[in-house]
Structure 1
Amino acid sequence: MTSLKGERRLETELVHAGELRPRIAGAVNAPIFQSSTFEFANEGSYHDVRYIRLNNTPNHVILHEKLARLERAEAALVTSSGMAAISATFLGLLSQGDHIIAHRSLYGGTHSFVAKDLPKLGIETTFVDADDPASWQRALRPTTRIFYIESITNPILEVVDFMAVIEFCRAKGLVSVIDNTCATPVNFRPIEVGVDLVLHSATKYLNGHSDIVAGAVMGSSGHIEAIKRKLDHLGGSLDPHACFLLHRGLKTLALRVRHQNESALQVARFLEQHPAVAKVNYPGLETHPRHARAREYFRGSGGLLSFELKGGVAAADHLFGRIELPAIAPSLGGPETLITRPATTSHAGMESDERAQQGISDALIRVSIGLEATEDLIDDFGQALDGSY
């Protein structure tokens, strides 16, 4: 990676960081290198041989440089999905007998992986309240290696005490790992406050167009090298065309996220005042229990919110039957607003009691705000809520 001296502002880095110089045949956009194999150049290691599965073609290298600059990291690695980034990180840094401390409120796929898959490999996890440092000390073992959290949790929109987590990890010699998907580097750069590793489901905001699946890991060169070596064997590489689409999507990230920040806040305020709504989860609201923390560390509260209706699941079904603009679909971060019940999609793989422990009821509705006019979204939610209370 090139030196971070002379860092430019985020918007400029999104467009220019990592770009090929000189340009290939003068092309302003880097081409898709649709080749699985490259000429041998006396590479000293198997992991350095230029090959798609080893995530080191020109399309990968461009992304690695750009993503590292966005999170102010030494190095970055792209993967075939967010879960590929998460699984390669755990498997690259942990061995049989190791232990993880993790916040209890995690994305459903991550929770299932650490709770059900890793134990089969002899790696155990203790779930804790990331706002209760006393529970961390009780969970700590001599074999603990990683403390895993999310900057903004999905779908309850918690903002954990990550500064206390960082201090705890430094004192105990743990690697702090944070999933920054929902906040994005536009709103929060965890490495700047001392986090060791940052993960993203690049499927979401980084790409921003609902047309690829990808993941990313950013951190120190040593950590990224260890994770890459594991990923090289697992085979979770990102194909060149998906690299190209992610590269393209990143260039508009700042514009998209800032609109979504403002739009989500206005929609959340509308829902909070609606008589059919029982509760709204959004850290930008003054009523959010961690609003002050979000304001202190985040440049915006993101495009994701969730809420519950007073009428429960029946009212949610009524809303879904009347809503016009949002697509009823999982995932988040795209140009179109998406609406779903996490109990039936993103967290369906968890047992009902596990969801309840995270505060995810069957009636909880999650909304990923897109790029539509905010006024039109508010009008649509208004008409859809008619008769639901």
Structure 2
Amino acid sequence: MKSKNIGINTICTHIGEVEDKQFKGAVSPLYMSSSYAYEDVDVKRYPRYFNTPNQEALCKKIAMLEKSEAGLIFGSGMAAVSTTMLAFLHKGDHVVLPQTLYGGTYNFVVEEFHKFGIEYSFAEGFSEADFSEKIQKNTKVIFVETPSNPLMRITDLEMISRIAKQRGIVTMIDNTFASPVNQTPADFGIDIMIHSATKYMGGHSDILAGAVAASEEHIKIIWNLAKNLGGSLSDYTVWLLERSMKTMVLRVKAQNMNAKKMAKWLDKHPLVEKVYYPGLKSHPDHELAKKQMNGYTGMLSFEINESLNVGDFLKALKMIKPSMSLAGVESTILSPAKTSHALLSAEERKRQNISDGLLRFSVGIEETEDIIADLEEAFQKVSKMEKI
């Protein structure tokens, strides 16, 4: 099969398979061994070196999906984020990041970087000026997250790539919320793509994994540190992840469609103050999202009326699960202030416009009529409680 121009569903289904040479099975065999021969072999395999048969095969799929030369898979999204950043940042270096970041990434930066002598600055907005003014002589990396978690802000990837390349800076993106289905940052010149593969790549709320895709040169730099930090993934989970990714496009497109319907419905609801979804024309980055995304994702956030109790609203839901994480086939919802951004101080959350009434909604593949019915019943129940 010529892999250069094949479609994304075909990549998900066929690229990165391990051939079953013995029994000719239709799916990849699973190699569970943690110990491999080292004499008279082409490759000296060791799980911590990210080169077992199942690991190597899956990395090919991830790399092709992100239009990159190579990939690595990790034990979690944060293992992928932390290893990749530390591979390119050393004592005396500086990194620029957006103010609105996933809480785990933000906490990693502010809690750990000073221990390594790494400096950092947060861009207060999303314009070229916002990022450019934070760049210093010792800036080595610009790290972005788009759409952002949880307010769904969009960063101009072409702009980030341009200002970085002018200065010899490496660019990184957390592409988790978009997935390669909705966004391929390499098309805009971004160097390194990072994912919490727990989310859309896994898609069934039963896998913990991270992924990185980049040039062979950049992956080698990351691998040199990764092999020492030991954030590799078990081969059974690798096998499960490959299985899950075969349906990623189908799942994500269904979630895109449902999320757009839900955003429009919530935007008109009298008990909803604001909806954050780049697919809405009212979103400040809607035109940019149209330009650099193929779909608007299955993620959105919304703020409920301040008269309603967030905890009571979540408890009133019956089908939608108040649950950590996101991007499973089932709809889930959470309060960022109590979960994903709980490590931030109240002041830091306020600076990022994360209110106590904000809810992050991961829309699943259920019929939207059923999702709407569950939300409406909860709104009505909590509204009556407040009037008593």
Q: Same fold (TM over 0.5)?
A: yes
Displacement after TM superposition at 1:43 (Å): 7.3
Q: Match of 1:86, SS?
A: helix
Contact 2:197 2:208 in 1 (8 A): yes
**Distance of 1:285 and 1:137 partners within structure 2:** 28
One of 292, 295, 299 as aligned partner of 1:300 = 295
Cα deviations by residue, 1:101-126 (Å, 9 ceiling, x for unpaired) = 00111100000111110111101110
Match of 1:12 among 10, 13, 31: 10
Q: CA deviation at 1:244?
A: 0.7
1:239 maps to a residue whose letter is: S
Question: Residue 206 of structure 1: CA displacement?
Answer: 0.4
In the other structure, the counterpart of 1:347 is 341
Deviation at 1:15, TM superposition (A): 0.4
1:155 corresponds to 2:150: yes
Work out which of the residue numbers 159, 162, 168 in structure 2 matches 1:167: 162
Aligned AA (1:16): H
> Hey, what does 2:30 align to over in structure 1?
32
Aligned pair count reads: 383
Shift of 1:317: 2.2
Shift of 1:42: 5.8
* CA gap 1:5/1:335 in 2 versus in 1, 3 angstroms: closer
Please state whether the residue corresponding to 2:231 is helix, strand or coil: coil
CA drift at 1:322: 1.3
Equivalent position to 1:252, from 247, 253, 278: 247
Equivalent of residue 140 in structure 1, options 135, 141, 166:
135
SS at match of 2:133: helix
Q: Is the 8 A contact 2:213 2:219 kept in 1?
A: yes
Offset at residue 22 of structure 1 (A): 5.7
Give the deviation of 1:388 after TM superposition: 4.4
Residues of 1 paired with 2:373 and 2:120: CA distance? 44
- Distance of 1:309 and 1:21 partners within structure 2: 51
Contact 1:179 1:199 in 2 (8 A): yes
> Residues 141 and 171 of structure 2 are in contact (CA less than 8 Å); yes or no, is this contact kept in structure 1?
yes
TM-superposed CA distance for 1:74, in Å, is: 0.5
Higher mean displacement: 19-28 or 282-291: 19-28
1:115 & 1:182 partners in 2: Cα distance?
A: 22
Where 1:18 maps in the other structure, the secondary structure is coil
TM-score, normalisation: structure 2:
0.95
- For 2:53, the aligned partner's letter is P
- 2:59 aligns with 64
How far, CA to CA, are the matches of 1:35 and 1:211 in structure 2?
22
Could you list the runs of 5+ residues in structure 2 that have no partner in the other structure? 384-388
Report the CA distance between 1:133 and its aligned residue. Answer: 2.1
Instruction: Return the alpha-carbon distance in structure 2 between the equivalents of residues 203 and 363 of structure 1.
Output: 26
- For residue 385 of structure 1, the aligned residue among 363, 379, 385 is 379
Is the Cα contact below 8 Å between 1:106 and 1:150 reproduced in 2? yes
Name the counterpart of 1:323: 317
| Structure 2 counterpart of 1:262, one-letter code | M
> Partners of 2:271 and 2:235 in 1: how far apart?
47
1:214 aligned residue: 209
1:353 deviates by 0.9
For residues 277 and 37 of structure 2, what CA distance do their matches in structure 1 show? 51
The 1:250/1:317 distance shift into structure 2, 3 A limit, reads same
Which 4+ stretches in 1 moved above 4 angstroms? 41-44
Distance 1:187 1:24, change over 3 A: farther
CA distance in 1, matches of 2:22, 2:197: 26
Cα displacement (A) at 1:23? 3.9
Aligned partners of 2:248, 2:3: CA distance in 1, in Å?
23
* Amino acid aligned to 2:303: E
CA offsets 1:10-33 (integer angstroms, 9 cap, x no match): 000000112234644212111221
| Mapped contact 2:92–2:138 kept (Cα < 8 A) | yes
Shift of 1:328: 0.9
In the alignment, which residue of structure 2 is the partner of 1:280?
Answer: 275
